[in-house]
Amino acid sequence: MITKRIIPCLDVKDGRVVKGVNFLGLHDVSSPVRLAKFYSDCGADELVFYDITASAEGRALFTDILTEVASTIFIPLTVGGGINTVDDFDRVLKCGADKVSVNSGAIRDPSLISQAAKRYGDQCVVLSVDAKRVNGQFRVFAKGGREDTGLDAIEWIKSGVQNGAGEIVLNSIDTDGVKNGFDLEMLDAVCQVVDVPVIASGGAGCVDHFKTLFHALPKVDAGLAASIFHFGEVAIPDLKRELAADGINMRLTGFSAPT
Amino acid sequence: MVAIIDYGVGNLFSLKSSLAAIGAEAVVTGDPAVIKAANKLILPGVGAFADAAALLRQDGLDQLIIEEANRGKPLLGICLGMQLLFDVSFEYGEHRGLGLIPGRVVPIEDAIPAGLKVPQIGWNALCFPKPSPLFRYMNEGDCVYFVHSYYAAGCEEYVIAGTEYGAYLTAAVQRDNVFGTQFHPEKSGTVGLNILRAFCEEGALC
């Protein structure tokens, strides 16, 4: 049976991997290429590679870094940040991305999802959503979590899937960086309304948070995290072994796992 | 030399990079002379079956691939490239394939229980109903990466790997020198690179 996926996220600014707490106070972690290779060898099932400054500052992705990552690792690679047009899809796909994640670009122009899905297939289009509770509603935030769009997250995700998004990354701003566990309530609300893979993001602090995620929400396909992996607080081989021992289907063989 | 057949479908970056990573000499080409000169052929592909089949025919590459395969040249179809090896696909209508392996390409959702997501996206384990040289550097139970909504049926005799997704689905096929993988070896980490290595290296494949 298909395995649950463990996905490290590499937020990139100026060619380096960074991770903010609640999107503020960025600090440098490591080289994207080195981290990507390390994670692939550790058994990461996929990598997400975001240019986190792109939507805020209109900065283009550093495609040479992306090309180097994609030439070095041979697991699925999702790229996001600054994806505003179908040409942006073309640019990152040519550099070796397998899937392209849209966020603010799709909020500005929702037809981006359908245009890209038509050209590259649904499986290529990932809708990434930063959401936060506002007045009892899950609200979509844009520009790296800084701007309240007023959109209802559940409705936004539903329409995104109808338009051709083949996968959803749901990042809860409320739990992001807090390391208190994934936002099960928000994730459940999304899983109820879509039938494409849902990737949980924001809040992972320890192995138990992943156990809780996959046991409580069987419809969630993957767990995504950044800092706990980058800083070695959770080692991916240990995480996957513990999840497998807890009855969660994991990919455990076929990669060299430095311990 | 391995020729990765370029007929305007899909992204060949990862395939090219993965062959470079295993030290295989490879060229991405749609040139019939280069394809004829190559020792081995890889037929990639993503997207819709009908479009891909039409593009192959438009360039006359379909006949060339059939001729080269019939001469005994090793051929590996990947994902949609694997589906194209069969007689027919029922993806949005009925479309003729290359007919190199008997069988038909049908929707996954007709075979699996309701509630499972389609496409199948993610890592799944392989089981081997019979041995194949393609998998000589990996173990049964190792996972590979799938993205597909259709699968090959009616080809039991040629199945060299299956995977469990609510039903037993064809994951790889072999008919003599013609191979196909429904999954993406170029996206399946070390396991995938070892499958490509088994295909690309010198020596008997069948």
**B200 tagged catalytic:** no
pLDDT averaged over every residue in chain A: 89
What are the Cα distances from residue A251, in Å, to A148, A197, A240, A254, B82?
Answer: 38, 17, 8, 8, 24
pLDDT bucket at A58, cuts 50 / 70 / 90: very low
DSSP B54-96: HHHHHTTHHHHHHHHHHTT--EEEETHHHHTTEEEE-TTS-EE
Q: What is the pLDDT of residue A222?
A: 98
Residue B62 forms part of a structural domain: yes
Say yes or no for a CB contact (<8 Å) between A1 and B165: yes
In a domain, B205, yes or no: no
Q: Give the model's pLDDT for residue A258.
A: 45
pLDDT of residue A62: 65
Q: What is the pLDDT of residue A232?
A: 83
Would you list the DSSP string of A96-159?
T-SEEEESHHHHH-THHHHHHHHHH-GGGEEEEEEEEEETTEEEEEETTTTEEEEEEHHHHHHH
Distance, in Å, from the CA atom of A10 to the CA atom of A101, rounded to the nearest integer, reads: 13
CATH of A5-245, one of 3.20.20.70, 3.30.70.20, 3.50.50.60, 3.30.429.10: 3.20.20.70
Higher-confidence position of A25 and B69: B69
Domain contains B163: yes
pTM beyond 0.90, yes or no = yes
Interface contact B89, partner A, CB < 8 A:
no
* Structural domain includes residue B151: yes
Residue percentage of chain A with pLDDT more than 90? 66
What is the predicted pLDDT for the residue at B46?
A: 83
Query: Does the pLDDT of residue B101 top 80, yes or no?
Result: yes
Q: In chain A, where are the structural domains located? A: 5-245
In a domain, B94, yes or no: yes
Judged by CB atoms closer than 8 Å, whether chains meet at B117 and A123 is answered as no
With a cut of 70, say whether residue B129 has pLDDT above it.
yes
Interface residues of chain A, partner chain B, Cβ below 8 Å:
1-3, 5, 40, 45, 70-71, 74-76, 93-96, 98, 121-123, 166-167, 195-197, 221-222, 251, 253-256
Question: What whole-number distance in Å separates Cα of residue B50 and Cα of residue B96?
Answer: 8
Q: What is the pLDDT of residues A11-34, one digit of tens each?
A: 887 777 776 544 444 455 567 888
| More confident position, B63 or A66 | B63
Residue B171: which CATH number?
3.40.50.880
Contacts of A256 in chain B (CB under 8 A): 190
On whether residue B189 sits in a domain, the answer given is yes
B121 falls within a domain: yes
| Higher local confidence (pLDDT), A65 or A173 | A173
Predicted confidence (pLDDT) per residue in A210-237, tens digit: 999 999 999 999 999 988 888 888 999 9
Mean pLDDT for the stretch of residues B137-158: 96
pLDDT digits (tens, 9 = 90+) for B26-36: 999 999 999 99
Q: What is the mean pLDDT of chain B?
A: 95
The answer to whether position B46 is within a domain reads yes
The predicted structure's pLDDT at residue A12: 84
Which active-site residues of A does the annotation give?
11, 130
For the ranges A7-11, A179-183, B193-197, the lowest mean pLDDT is seen at A7-11
Domain count, chain B: 1
Q: Which residue range forms the structural domain that includes residue B10?
A: 2-200
pLDDT in tens, A131-183: 999 999 999 999 878 899 999 999 999 999 999 999 999 999 999 989 999 99
Confidence category of residue B59, pLDDT binned at 50, 70, 90: confident
- Answer yes or no: is pLDDT of A57 > 60: no
